[in-house]
A = this chain, B = another copy of it.
Amino acid sequence: MKNGLKRLRMEAGFSLIKEDPASGARRGRLKTLHGTIETPIFMPVGTQGTVKGLLPDQLKSLKAQIILGNTYHLNLRPTSELIESMGGLHRFMRWDGPILTDSGGFQVFSLSKIRKIREDGIYFQSHLDGREVILTPERVLDIQAKLGSDIAMVLDECPSAESSRQECEDAVSRTLKWARQARDYVEKTGFLAKGHHVFGIVQGSRHKDLRQSCAQELVEMDFPGYAIGGVSVGEPEEEMIPQVQMCTEVLPREKPRYVMGVGTPVQLLKMIASGADMFDCVMPTREARHGIAFTDNGKINMKNNRFREDNNPLMERFSDIETGRFSRAYIRHLIVSGEILGSVLLTMHNVRFYLDLMAQARQHIEDGTFRDWSNQWIDRYNG
């Protein structure tokens, strides 16, 4: 942090440090029970209580500030009761930084074949053993309380991009009903008073009026932060950023805004310019396991024969971390040979790439140079 930056406002643990004059980009800071995170921020995904292939110390060395866990998955296995009895998710996985947990609402979309939506909640047939699992607005908060989540999500209904207008209206209606139940429940249980955050989730698909009325109603419920869900669920790419923009127009300036499950490096920069603060995505970790590395000049497939004799590191400016010491030729050899270490090294690299991009964005917002830098960055990446 540079000196002289003015804290504009603080509410419910979030302080807005600077706003970019040329875009909607914001530089903020969110306090949680396990430390403060600097926004804009990318959150590596640890669905099952582990960011795939990485040790907590490695995440720290990559400068991860906060990671994700998933209510649906952890509740099934090893169960929230077990994790609670082990001292909570932080202690279970030996990660002492902040953790945000998704509510299971996204699995309405991703596991659409094994779930039914009813007015009281979502009925899943477990993808592990077929037994029925019911997620209600109260139950997902109980689970997240047992996990010890720093930032919990309310239960929402995430429709796919193919849903009809009527289906989207129904989804928003249920999402709002469940959000109200959730808001009442955390008040009653004292979860918020203990310092945990609970974010409401805006749905509404591509429909501006639905998104904005959903956002407005959530704002009236006064959540500590707001998430934008249902983005990148099958719609054309050009519709994604406008959907974020529709929401941020309505969401309060002084609360953090989290776009769920998105996206590419370029999409992240565009969402930042649209006023979003927090992001998560499996892309950097999943692509790593498929042999793909992110670089300043775009993605590269490490299986490609052109890296066979390439003695350069993946990216010169990352030579301070473990992955930076290895040549592209060696990483290609590992990937081609199906060696675990290839996935691990690329996962470290890609997570670092995403986190570093956010660090650059933060600096440029502070310096008032975000828009120009961001445009240049995107041109180079795409070019």
Contacts and interface: CB of A to CB of B under 8 A. Distances in A.
Interface of A: 48-50, 52-55, 57, 77-78, 82, 85-87, 92-94, 308-309, 311, 322, 325-327, 329-330, 332-334, 336-337, 339-341, 343-345
Given A48-B339, A86-B327, A339-B48, A78 B344 contact: no
Given A78-B308, A308-B78, A309-B82, A94 B326 contact: yes
Contacts of A341: 50, 52-55
Contact of A53 (B50, B86, B309, B340): B340
A89 to B, nearest CB: 10
A344 B57 CA distance: 14
B55 A330 contact: no
A78 B333 contact: yes
A170 B88 CA distance: 64
Contacts of A326: 94
Given A50-B334, A55-B322, A322-B57, A78 B343 contact: no
A357 to B, nearest CB: 24
Contacts of A325: 94
A327 B82 CA distance: 12
A340 B337 contact: no
Give the number of times this chain occurs in the complex, counting copies: 2
A333 B89 CA distance: 12
A370 B332 CA distance: 45
A55 B344 contact: yes
Q: In the complex, which of the residues A54, A326, A333 has the most CB atoms of chain B within 10 Å of its own CB atom?
A: A333
A92 B329 CA distance: 8
Contact of A85 (B86, B309, B330): B309
A288 to B, nearest CB: 11
Contacts of A94: 325-326, 330
Nearest to A50: B341
Contacts of A50: 334, 339, 341
B329 A82 contact: yes
A94 B330 CA distance: 10
Given A48-B337, A322-B57, A92 B344 contact: no
A365 B309 CA distance: 47
Contacts of A78: 308, 329, 332-333, 336
A319 to B, nearest CB: 12
A334 B54 CA distance: 12
Contact of A340 (B85, B309, B344, B345): B344
Given A48-B339, A85-B309, A92-B327, 5 more contacts: A49-B334, A55-B341, A77-B337, A78-B308, A86-B327
A142 to B, nearest CB: 20
A339 B74 CA distance: 13
A50 B322 CA distance: 15
6 interchain residue pairs of minimum CB distance: A53-B340, A78-B333, A50-B341, A48-B337, A50-B339, A94-B325
18 contacts: A49-B334, A50-B334, A52-B339, A52-B341, A53-B340, A57-B322, A77-B336, A78-B336, A85-B309, A87-B311, A92-B327, A92-B330, A92-B333, A94-B325, A94-B326, A94-B330, A340-B343, A340-B344
A337 B333 CA distance: 27
A54 B340 CA distance: 8
A175 to B, nearest CB: 29
